[in-house]
Chain A
Amino acid sequence: GENVGLHLPTLSVQEGDNSIINCAYSNSASDYFIWYKQESGKGPQFIIDIRSNMDKRQGQRVTVLLNKTVKHLSLQIAATQPGDSAVYFCAENGGLSQKLVFGQGTRLTINP
Chain B
Amino acid sequence: NAGVMQNPRHLVRRRGQEARLRCSPMKGHSHVYWYRQLPEEGLKFMVYLQKENIIDESGMPKERFSAEFPKEGPSILRIQQVVRGDSAAYFCASSPPERSNYGYTFGSGTRLTVV
User: Does A pair with B?
Assistant: no
Taking Cβ atoms with an 8 Å cutoff, the residues of B that contact A are none
